[in-house]
Amino acid sequence: MPSVLVTGCAGFIGSHLCERLLADGYRVLGLDNFDPFYDRSLKQANLSALLAHPRFSFHEVELRRGGEALADAFPADPIDVVVHLAAKAGVGPSVREPIAYLENNVVATTHLLEWMRGRAISKLFFASSSSVYGNTPERPFREDMNLLSAVISPYAASKLAGEQLTYTYHHLYQLDVLNARFFTVYGPRQRPDLAIHKFVRLLRAGHAIPVFGDGSTARDYTFVLDTVDGIARGVAYLLGHTGVYETINLGNNRPVPLLELIHAVGDAVGVTPRLEFQPMQAGDVDVTYADISKAQQLLGYQPQTSLPDGLRQFVAWQQAQPD
């Protein structure tokens, strides 16, 4: 059975992915550094079901320590594919702490790539972001767009730099790579700093919802299990092909305006939202909109979850969490 190393395995997307890969029959090695961006206990809860699985092993590793830390954690484990999800996330915080984002998302990724090269691990699924498209006026966003002048946040810059690094390693060292640009993933276990999670908490507490700008900004919200399905298909694709270097969008192909999202969250919670308009935040983009035709053609990717259904699943999960 193939073995997959998942970095960032204790996070929102990573924990769902590990469950999917185990269900698909893989052996899964998980790595996480429990970055303090949000509470460690939430990530440990994400891991709780995985730790009992006989084909799952967990290793706490700080990628910024370099290959030595990885060699200590995985001295001889057979690894067929690496799924690199670990990153410092968030556009707004990256504007305040750009160096931390470059260290975690560029330097740490380089350490991982060097370790893979030394271990002759030749297949990588790299998690990029829709933020690399910035405010590109042409929509929907296609993977072949010129993005060198598009990025408008350190987070976006760090993700585009990651893609450029993966191409360098493909070109020089024959690394097979699938870069995937994720589009506003939501669902159970979503990070507490993200909009939908915040909106549900505020509505339940009887508070107003902050609306940055006039409410017309829009995001291509993608349910987490749809994104995970795309990653799992990508892993299978990498295992079945050589000489691969591809970049794909994993989105839902439908931008949802902010005001529409807020009212949909209100419907899921059963509360009519009160709105509090505020200025736009630095680094935010106006619209994200994925052209998913390449992922459909390459992987058979097709999102299945509607926004109302996905929000209902998130609200049910959030309601079940301890205070």
Q: What ranges make up the beta strands (E) of the chain?
A: 3-7, 27-32, 56-60, 81-84, 123-129, 176-182, 185-186, 209-212, 218-219, 222-223, 245-250, 256-257, 275-278
DSSP output for 295-310: HHHHH-------HHHH
Distance CA 34, CA 104 (A): 12
Look up residue 320 and give its two tokens.
């079940």
Strand pairing report for 222-223 and 275-278: unpaired
Report the C-alpha dihedral over residues 203, 205, 211, 216, rounded to 10 degrees: -10
Q: Are 182 and 130 in contact (CB under 8 A)?
A: yes
Q: Are 306 and 262 in contact (CB under 8 A)?
A: no
Distance CA 153, CA 18 (A): 30
Look up residue 3 and give its two tokens.
């073995």
Which one is catalytic: 101, 133, 155, 301? 155
The three-state secondary structure class of 195 is helix
User: Length of the chain in residues, anyone?
Assistant: 323
**Type of residue found at 51:** L
Distance CA 303, CA 225 (A): 9
Strand pairing report for 176-182 and 218-219: unpaired
Q: Name residue 158's beta-bridge partners.
A: none
Closest among 10, 64, 12, 5 to 32, alpha carbons compared: 10
Is 155 assigned a catalytic role? yes
User: 182 — phi, psi (to 5°)?
Assistant: -80, 145
Catalytic residues: 155
